[in-house]
Structure 1
Amino acid sequence: MKTPRRFEYDVFADYFQFYLQDESAESNLGACWTDEAVERLLVVAPPGTIGIGTVRNMSVPVAVEVAGAQPDPDFESWDYVAECALEVPSGRIVIAGCTDYFPDAPRIDVEPGSYRVRISYGALDSVSEDGLEGRDHYRLQLWPAPSTGLRILKPRVA
């Protein structure tokens, strides 16, 4: 399989969240963050927006990998893994904190279409008592796939 394109960011996870969305999407995730969504650290707002919950209200390291096919599972080193769909009709994905200035947020060019997004959450229990320091990190793997619902692939152990 061809090596995926990889991008690394430090994203300001204000309000314990950041977004991955189609550049043309106009979804508002405010009402989508139900108690259940907060617990699973993920919300989907079709068309074209997902919100990824974090365990810190600070800048967090995020890696985004764009592949041509579904990656092999490698869940052992991750605390929690979920998947969902993302529609990208514009061919440009934006990654941003919810209070970031959208025009300045990073973009990733992809082929327009439907994608599967696998979100892997690591070191979730490493956050300091004051919530400011931690080694938590997040990986988002995307590949072209038909739009299907949200799935938890590796549950978070409480």
Structure 2
Amino acid sequence: MTAVLADAGLVRCARNLKAKSVQRDEVDRSWRLHRGAVGVAQGAYAGTFRLPPTISRRPAVQRDMTLHTAYTHYWITGSEPEPGEVPKGAGRQRDNGRVEALEASEAHPGLVIWTGVQHGDIPAVVRVHESEPELDGEGWDEIVEGDLQAESYVQLGNLDGQLQEFDLPGPGHGDGHNWRVRLSVKGADDSLAVAYEEDGRELTERHRIDMWPAPETGLLWLREDARGFRKPQ
């Protein structure tokens, strides 16, 4: 009788051990499948889709620059202008009488940026992203977006012949190599009063330029300064 009970106990113990082993195997298998599914999903998402613009990403390229303006504007282009042919804007005015901060060139392809500073230097940061960055408007007076065709580099220039270039990490979107350009501006109105940094007064105008490959969309105003102070020269 004792032997029979002992045998029955061993059978139950073996069954319990087998059940636990099966449970562990199922848990391990489920975890492996979960990790694999997450990995595949992440790979497909990163390779096929852009992260939502609300998710902040570090820019692929970031440069602190001093931009040079002449006759209250400078330009951005993705190709070398021919002699005597430079990007040119019309200096269009908004409904409040303010000249647009950014407009598409009517001559050589590019974007024309109108400034408060008449002649001089503007501290700026240029950031190139793999996809649309989060909109960070804190502290900026105006924010506007436009389109730029550029395959391998960007050139910033002005009517005084001052040129700056930087390379792009990729060719842009589609056959047209299109980039979205988001210009953020602050202090341009204050700069009108001290356009030449006279009497020891410090210029306050600052620019930030964000770029990322995207389909052509046209001009888009994200924040407009209601003050009509920037006038055509």
Q: TM-score surpassing 0.5?
A: yes
Q: CA deviation at 1:18?
A: 1.2
In structure 2, the residue matched to 1:108 is 167
The 5 Å alignment of 1:85-96 reads: 85-89=147-151, 91-96=152-157
- Contact 2:117/2:192, CA 8 A, preserved across alignment: no
Q: Which amino acid aligns with 2:224?
A: P
Aligned-residue Cα RMSD (Å) equals 2.3
CA distance in 1, matches of 2:192, 2:157: 24
CA distance in 1, matches of 2:157, 2:129: 20
CA distance in 1, matches of 2:156, 2:194: 26
CA distance in 2, matches of 1:101, 1:121: 21
**Bigger proportion of residues as helix:** 2
Secondary structure at the counterpart of residue 77 of structure 1: coil
The 5 Å alignment of 1:127-142 reads: 127=191, 129-133=193-197, 134-142=203-211
CA distance in 2, matches of 1:64, 1:107: 10
CA distance in 1, matches of 2:194, 2:180: 35
Percent identity over paired residues: 21
Q: Which amino acid aligns with 2:114?
A: G
Say which one has the larger Rg.
2
Q: CA deviation at 1:25?
A: 5.1
In structure 2, the residue matched to 1:49 is 110
- Contact 2:103/2:112, CA 8 A, preserved across alignment: yes
Q: CA deviation at 1:23?
A: 2.5
In the alignment of these two chains, the number of paired residues is 154
Consecutive unaligned residues in structure 1, runs of 5 or more: none
CA distance in 2, matches of 1:128, 1:85: 27
Secondary structure at the counterpart of residue 13 of structure 1: strand
In structure 1, the residue matched to 2:127 is 65
CA distance in 2, matches of 1:106, 1:55: 23
Q: Which amino acid aligns with 1:108?
A: D
Q: CA deviation at 1:132?
A: 1.9
- Contact 2:103/2:113, CA 8 A, preserved across alignment: yes
Consecutive unaligned residues in structure 2, runs of 5 or more: 1-55, 172-176, 198-202, 228-233
In structure 1, the residue matched to 2:86 is 28
The TM-score, its normalising length taken from structure 1, stands at 0.85
Secondary structure at the counterpart of residue 72 of structure 1: coil
The TM-score, its normalising length taken from structure 2, stands at 0.59
**Bigger proportion of residues as strand:** 1
- Contact 1:87/1:147, CA 8 A, preserved across alignment: no
